[in-house]
Amino acid sequence: MVHSLLLVVLSALVCASLVSSQEYYYCADVSVAAGGGVSTTSQGYFSMKIGEGYSKYAFSVDLSAVDNCDFSVYPTVAYHIHTNTFVNSCTDTNGHYDPSLACSEKSQAHATSCTQLSRTSASGYVYTCAATAGTVTYSTPTGGCEVGDLSGKLGKITLPASKVAASSQVYTDYVPPYNYNYGQSTTGVTSGWASIVFHCGDAAGTRIACGNFALTTQSGTASCGNFDADAWVQNESCDNNDDNADLSEAGFDALVAVVVVGWVLVAVLFVYACFCRGPLSGDAKPMMNSNSA
């Protein structure tokens, strides 16, 4: 009986452990460069979900008010995760988030670690990350692309006549930003991330829009004013990551508590089964002597 109960509890804990991974949601209100500066009015959103070993992106930004990029000449737009927050200008955001030191010329580590490793164009190093436009999944191991070079991994956006840069569906990235780097300061080889930046397709990569990420607890409750609460459901085909079933922060904490208590119960049952019901307890029946009369 005890052994059966132990098996049932152990099986339940294994199942609970498999579903207890938490997903984190981030969203950025994106403002555009207009009138010689950056508009304080949000022109769209960039939403990101990070799970264990993957991230997903959905976004929509109206770039029609941008006045520092000629889209008739440069119709494609790049977008990257940057290390610093946007305050007054998109130039505040520093360089690309690059914890693995893939080292493009725009890496936050270009003047420090990348230079020390001779991973700069001046040293003959060539950064080769470039995806075909419209790519929806990235799975190449870290090293080829900076973690924050999203358009390098997923392809640049070709703007339609409306000048709205939007994800055609939810993009999946299997080399995601690290949750624990969110909001960290960049010191030495430690790299944080804080913002999303959109760039013109010109040689300078002029920054045309940007916004700061805010951590949220679950899908549909992002702090972004223009966030589409149904974006994940509308744009994402059926898969194993049901956004409507994701745990809230409180729900995740409760599940962790249940798992911990369950493992304690397993330990107690194991000790009972081994020492209280076994030969040491005196419950074992004496063996019959086959030679007895």
Tell me the whole-structure pTM to 2 decimals. Answer: 0.71
Mean pLDDT, to the nearest integer, of 86-102? 91
d(CA 150, CA 138): 9
Q: How confident is the model at residue 35 (pLDDT cuts 50, 70, 90)?
A: low
Domain that holds residue 132: 23-243
Q: Identify the pLDDT of residue 253.
A: 55
- Residue 166 forms part of a structural domain: yes
How many angstroms separate the Cα of 233 from the Cα of each of 49, 170, 239, 265? 13, 9, 11, 39
Burial state string for 268-284 with b = 16 or more CB within 10 A and e = fewer than 16 = ebeeeeeeeeeeeeeee
Calpha distance 270→7 (Å, rounded): 10
- Does position 239 have pLDDT exceeding 70, yes or no? no
Q: Kindly tell me if the per-residue pLDDT of 236 is higher than 60.
A: no
Element (H, E) at 57: strand 55-62
Are residues 33 and 172 located together in one domain of the fold?
yes
Task: Indicate the number of domains in the chain.
Answer: 2
Closest residue by Cα to residue 109 from 147, 77, 140, 137: 147
Task: Look at the alpha carbons of 10, 11, 13, 18 in this order and tell me if their dihedral is positive or negative.
Answer: positive
- Residue 171 CB: number of other CB atoms within 10 A? 21
Query: What per-residue string of b and e applies to 40-70 under the rule 16 or more CB within 10 Å gives b?
Result: eebbbbbbbbbeeebbbbbbbbbbebbebbe
164 with 221, same domain? yes
189 and 267 share one domain: no
**Do both 58 and 172 map to the same domain?**
yes
Residue 287 within any structural domain of the chain: no
CB-based contacts of 80, cutoff 8 Å, min separation 6: 96, 97, 106, 146, 148, 149, 150, 151, 152, 196, 197, 199
Q: Same structural domain for residues 40 and 66? A: yes
Q: Mind listing the pLDDT tens digit for each residue in 144-155?
A: 899 999 999 999
- Which has the higher per-residue pLDDT, 24 or 236? 24
Beta bridge partners of 194: none
- The mean pLDDT value for 87-104 works out to 91
The CATH number of the domain holding residue 115 is 2.60.40.200
CB neighbours of residue 26 within 10 Å: 26
What mean pLDDT do residues 48-57 have?
Answer: 91
> For residue 276, is it within any domain?
yes
